[in-house]
Structure 1
Amino acid sequence: MSSNKNALIRYKTLDKCLKNKYRKYTLEDLIDECSEALFEFEGKESYVSKRTIQLDLQNMRSEKFGYEAPIEVYERKYYRYSDPDYSIHNISVNESDLKAMNNAIQILKQFKDFSMFKEMNGVIQKLEDSIHATNQKSIIHLDKNEQLKGLEHIDILYESIVNKKVLKILYKSFTARESSVYTVHPQLLKEFNNRWFLICLYKQKMYNLALDRMENIKADESLSYIDKDLDGDEYFKDIVGVTVAESMLPRNVVFFVDSANAPYVKTKPLHKSQEIINETKDGTLFKICVQINFELERLLLGFGDTLIVHKPQKLKLRMEEKFRMGHKNYQDLSILKEGAIQDQ
C-alpha cells in the first residue's frame, strides 16, 4: 500500500478517536487504533511507530493540509479535540477554493461522454451540487475525439488490466489480409496523437496493439495472467510515441531547426531529453536521446523543410529518401489514377 494511502487511513482513524466523547485515548491507544486500522485494510500486521503518530498529530494541528485541528492533551496524557464538534471532514471551503474546484469540474465535464468516464457522470454532478457550481462554459478546451474507432474497447481493456485477466483479441493490422487472434496479457493503455494503444505481453514479448484495429475481445479464464509490473513513465522514457524496442539502445539524434520555427521546439520539446547544442541567427541545433522508431520519423517529417537531421547518419539518409520520394510524387502526378483529383 502506498505511504499516502497509509497516511490517509491514519488521519481518518485519529479523527474518529479524537472526536469520540465517550473514551479517553492515550498516545499508545492511538498507536494501537491506527495499527489495527491498517491491518484491516492491508490484511497483515502493520505496527505504527510512536514517532509516526506524533508527526501525524503535528500535521493535523498545522496548516500543512488545511486541517488546523484543535488537538489538546488533557490530564497530561489523553488526546482529544478541544472543540467537540470539530472533524477533519468538516473543513470549510473559501471562495477561492470554490472557484478552483468549479474550474476543475468544467474540465472533467469535457470527458463525461467519453466511454471510459461514463461512470464519472454521477460524481461530477455531486461535485457541482455540493459546491453550487455555475453552468459557465469551460474556458479550457482539451483536444479529444469521442468518435475515434476503438474507444468502445477501453472499458474492457481497462478492467482486464485492473483485474489481471488474459485476453483473446481478434486483430487485423493495416498490412494484414486477414484477422488473427492474439492471446495477450494486457499491461498498460497509452494514448498518442489521438489514437489509443494497448501495451501487452504476447509470446513473451511486449507489443502495442492499436484499439482501432481490434475487432473482438474476450477473456481467457484458462490462462494465468503474467504481470510485468510496468511503470509507464519508465517504459516510455526513451521514446517518442508508443513503439518500444526492448533490445534497442537510445541514440543521440541531432537536428537543426530554422530560426522561425526553433521557438516552437524550445517551448514544446520533442522529448524530455532535449538539449540545445548551438544557436545562431539562422537557427538552433538540438539533441535528443531516444530510440529511433516510426513515430519519431513521422514527427521529424512533420516539420517539413524547416528541420534537418544531422545525426545519426542512417536516420539522416532515411529522411533524405522520404523527401526525395515526396518531391518525385509532386513531379510525377501521373502516379495518381485518372480522375482521382480534380482542379478546384
Structure 2
Amino acid sequence: MSSNKNALIRYKTLDKCLKNKYRKYTLEDLIDACSEALFEYEGKESYVSKRTVQLDLQNMRSEKFGYEAPIEVFDRKYYRYSDSDYSIHNISVNESDLKAMNNAVQILKQFKDFSMFKEMNGVIQKLEDSIHSTGQKSIIHLDKNEQLKGLEHIDVLYESILNKKVLKILYKSFTARESSVFTVHPQLLKEYNNRWFLICLYKGSMYNLALDRMEKIEVEEKNEYIDKDLDGDEYFKDIVGVTVSETMKPRNVIFFVDASNTPYVKTKPLHKSQEIISETEEGAVFKICVQINYELERLLLGFGNSLIVHKPRNLRRRIEEKFRTGIMNYQNLIIPDEE
C-alpha cells in the first residue's frame, strides 16, 4: 500500500477517535487504533510508530492539509477535539474554493453521457447541490463523441482490469474477412484520436485491440489472470499513438516544418522528446525520439506539403511514396460534369 494511502487511513482513524465522546484515548491507544486500521486494510501486521502518530497529530493541527484540527490534551494524557462538533470531513471552503469546485463539476458533467461514467451522475448531482452550483454553462469544452462504436464495451473492460479477469473477445479487424477469438489479459484502456483501445496480454505479447472492432466479450473465470502491472506513462513514453513494439528501439526522427506551421509544432509538440535543431526564416528543423509506427506516419502526413521528413531514410521514402500515390490518385480522378 502506498505511503499516501497509509497516511489517509491513519488520519481517518485518528479523526474517528478524537471525536468519540464516549471514550478517552491516550497516545498509545491512538497508536493501537491506527495499527489495527492498517491491519484491517492490508491483511497483515502493520505496527505504527509513536513518532508517526505524533507527526500525524501535528499535521492535523497545522494548515499543511487545511485541517487546522483543534486537538487538545486533557488530564495530561488523553487526546480529543476541543470542539466536539469538529471533524476533518467537515472542512469549510471559501468562495474561491467553491468557484474552483464549480468549474470542476462543469467539466465532470461532460463525461456523464459515457456509459463508464453513468454511476457518476448521482455523485455529480450531489456535488452541485453541496456547493450550490450556479448552473452556469461549461467554459471548458472537451472533445468527445458519444456515438463512437465500442463505447458500450468500456464498462466490462474497465471492471475486468480492475478485478483482474481474463476475457474472451470476438474481434474482427478492418482487414480480416472473418472474426477471430482472442483470449486476453486486459491491462489498460487508452484513448487516442477519439478512439478507444484495450491494451492487453495475448499469448505472451502485448496487443492493442480497438473497442469498435469488438463484437462480443465474455469473462473467462477458469483462466488465471496475468498482471503485467503496466504504467501507462512508462509504456507509451516512446511512441505517438497506441502501437508499441516490444522489440523496436526509439529512433531519432528529424523533420522540417515551414515557417507558417512552425509555431503550431512549437506550441503543440508531436512528442515530449521534441527539440528544435535549427530555425531560419523559411522554417525550423525538429527532432523527436520515438518508435516508428502507423500513427506517427499518419500524423506526419497530416501536415501535407508543410512538413518534410529528413531522417530516417526509410520513413522519408515511405512518406514520399504515399505523396506520389496521392498525386497519381488526383491525376487519374474522373469527376462527372456538375449539372
Shift of 1:195: 0.4
| Residue 213 (structure 2) aligns with | 213
| Residue 146 (structure 2) aligns with | 146
SS in 2 for 1:296: helix
Supply the AA of the counterpart residue of 1:160: S
Supply the AA of the counterpart residue of 2:49: S
Over residues 249-307 of structure 1, what are the superposed CA-to-partner deviations in whole Å (9 max), with x where a residue is unaligned?
Answer: 00011111111111111111111111111121211111111000000000011011111
| Residue 318 (structure 2) aligns with | 318
SS in 2 for 1:79: strand
Shift of 1:171: 0.7
> Structure 2: any 5+ residue segments left out of the alignment?
none
C-alpha distance in 1 between matches for 2:39 and 2:338: 74
Over residues 185-239 of structure 1, what are the superposed CA-to-partner deviations in whole Å (9 max), with x where a residue is unaligned?
Answer: 1111110000001111111111111111111111122211111111111111110
The equivalences for 1:201-280 within 5 A come to 201-280=201-280
| Residue 59 (structure 2) aligns with | 59
Over residues 119-143 of structure 1, what are the superposed CA-to-partner deviations in whole Å (9 max), with x where a residue is unaligned?
Answer: 1111111111111112111111000
Alpha-carbon RMSD:
1.4
Shift of 1:81: 1.8
| Residue 32 (structure 1) aligns with | 32
SS in 2 for 1:111: coil
| Residue 177 (structure 1) aligns with | 177
C-alpha distance in 1 between matches for 2:302 and 2:51: 57
In structure 2, the CA distance between the partners of 1:343 and 1:46, relative to structure 1 (3 Å rule), is: farther
TM-score (normalizing by structure 2): 0.96
The equivalences for 1:1-344 within 5 A come to 1-334=1-334, 343=338
Supply the AA of the counterpart residue of 1:222: K
Supply the AA of the counterpart residue of 1:152: E
Count of aligned positions = 339
Supply the AA of the counterpart residue of 2:242: V
C-alpha distance in 1 between matches for 2:271 and 2:338: 40
TM-score (normalizing by structure 1): 0.95
SS in 2 for 1:96: helix
Shift of 1:326: 1.0
Supply the AA of the counterpart residue of 2:241: G
Over residues 145-178 of structure 1, what are the superposed CA-to-partner deviations in whole Å (9 max), with x where a residue is unaligned?
Answer: 0000111111111111111111111111111111
Over residues 64-88 of structure 1, what are the superposed CA-to-partner deviations in whole Å (9 max), with x where a residue is unaligned?
Answer: 1111111223343332222222211
C-alpha distance in 2 between matches for 1:87 and 1:328: 73
In structure 2, the CA distance between the partners of 1:343 and 1:202, relative to structure 1 (3 Å rule), is: farther
C-alpha distance in 2 between matches for 1:195 and 1:119: 22
C-alpha distance in 2 between matches for 1:319 and 1:10: 58
Shift of 1:28: 2.0
C-alpha distance in 1 between matches for 2:270 and 2:51: 46
SS in 1 for 2:249: coil
C-alpha distance in 1 between matches for 2:191 and 2:338: 37
SS in 1 for 2:110: helix
Supply the AA of the counterpart residue of 1:41: Y
Shift of 1:327: 1.2
C-alpha distance in 2 between matches for 1:284 and 1:313: 19
C-alpha distance in 2 between matches for 1:38 and 1:95: 36
